[in-house]
Structures are given as structure tokens and as C-alpha cells.
Amino acid sequence: MKGNNLVLVGGGGHCCSCIEVIQSTGQYTIVGIVDKEQDMSPILGVPIIGDDDSIPIFKKKFSCQFMITLGQIKNSVGRRRLFNLVRESKGKIPVIIASTAFVSKYANIGNGSTVMHNVFINANATIGNGCIINTGALIEHDVQVDDYCHISTKAVVNGGVTIDSDCFIGSGVTISQSVSICKGCVIGAGSVVLHSIEKSGVYAGNPVRRIDVDG
């Protein structure tokens, strides 16, 4: 598809999910994957065509855009680094929205964010740059999710919630309405967040509490 060539940046499990989502849109031709591990086998038939240093070369060779397909759990450092590599090469990183997702026409999605299958994003929600909104997540009205957050599978983010940058919200987490979560938090799977979190760290439980990950 002329003008819609796409190079994926980062192999692995999340890359598999992204390939299927991209194909569901019918909007892009996937040229290949760049990854630091050069001996990897093709992923779902998509070949490894270079490493991170190849990004400027492929931008010129294929007139392509890029999608960051490295996942994010513990922190956003890896994804931020790859975004910066692409930006330094003046590459474009489009918003990718699965064919089965619903995104309100009154919502805003930042550059390079990915909305996976069966996601629901309601009116007046704002998603920042470089976010992952993973399979089946619910983002309710007036939610604000800042840059480089991962809202994981089946998470429920209720109305008026604010999530600062670089957060990971685990699978099945429920966040009560109007709660704020500060920058750099990790919320463990299945947790229930009833009150605002003002200190970065790892949290888990029902109700959620800060845990000592070194203990």
C-alpha cells in the first residue's frame, strides 16, 4: 500500500499482538521488524530486517512510518528510548487503532499510541503519546492518561481518573472515579484503586497498598 509502509521497532510477545492489530486495520503494509537481537526468527511471518541503528536507513529506503512494538511492564524506559530514536530520525509514529476497538469521536489519542482489540474509550477521554491501551480495557469519560502509560488487559478506568506519565496499570485493575495516580506507578493485576496515589512505587491489593518489592 503506497505511502503506508510500516516498520515495527521491537520484537517479542507484544509485537505479535501489534502485528495482528495492524493487519486488522487494513491500512498498512508491514515491511519488517528492527530489533537488537539479529538472530531472531520471523514473527508471524514478518522478517527481522535490521537493528535499532537501521531506523534512519529504512526511513529513507521505504519512505515508511514506524510503530514501537516493544512492550512495557516495569517501566517505560525502553519505549521512550525507541520513540526518541525514531524522532531523531524525523520518522513518524502513527496512532494504531484495532478494527474492533471503539474510540469516541470526542476522545483524543496522542501520537504513537496503540489501541488494541475490544478497547472502549469514551467521550472526552485523552490518551497521551506512546501509550498502550491493551486488549479489552475500558477508558471512561473524562479520563486523562499521560504519555508512555500501559493500561493493561481488561483494566477499568472510571470517569474523571487522571493517570500521570510512565505508569503501568495491570490486568483487571479497577480504578474508582476521579482518582489520580502519580507518575511512574506500577499497579499490580487485579488491584482496586479507591483513593488517589501521590507517591511513585509498586502497588497491589484490594484495596491497593504500596508494597516493598525488595522485601
Where residue 33 sits, what CATH number does that domain have? 3.40.50.20
Q: Are 168 and 146 in contact (CB under 8 A)?
A: no
Pairing mode of beta strands 192-193, 29-34: unpaired
Q: Is residue 209 part of a domain?
A: no
Residue 1 pLDDT level (bands cut at 50, 70, 90): very low
Listed in sequence order, the residues at least 6 apart from 168 whose beta carbon sits closer than 8 Å to its beta carbon are 72, 73, 74, 75, 149, 150, 152, 185, 186, 187
| pTM for this predicted structure | 0.93
Listed in sequence order, the residues at least 6 apart from 88 whose beta carbon sits closer than 8 Å to its beta carbon are none
Q: Are 145 and 166 in contact (CB under 8 A)?
A: no
Average pLDDT rounded to a whole number, residues 46-62: 86
Average pLDDT rounded to a whole number, residues 8-19: 92
Average pLDDT rounded to a whole number, residues 96-118: 97
Average pLDDT rounded to a whole number, residues 67-91: 90
Residue 213 pLDDT level (bands cut at 50, 70, 90): low
Q: Is residue 208 part of a domain?
A: no
| 180/70 Cα distance (integer angstroms) | 26
Is the pLDDT assigned to residue 97 strictly greater than 90?
yes
Domain assignment of residue 104, given as a range: 95-203
Report the domain count for the chain: 2
Residue 38 has what pLDDT? 67
Residue 56 has what pLDDT? 85
| 167/73 Cα distance (integer angstroms) | 9
Residue 62 has what pLDDT? 77
Residue 37 has what pLDDT? 75
Q: Are 60 and 101 in a shared domain?
A: no
Q: Is residue 193 part of a domain?
A: yes
Q: Are 21 and 47 in a shared domain?
A: yes
Q: Are 22 and 81 in a shared domain?
A: yes
Residue 116 has what pLDDT? 98
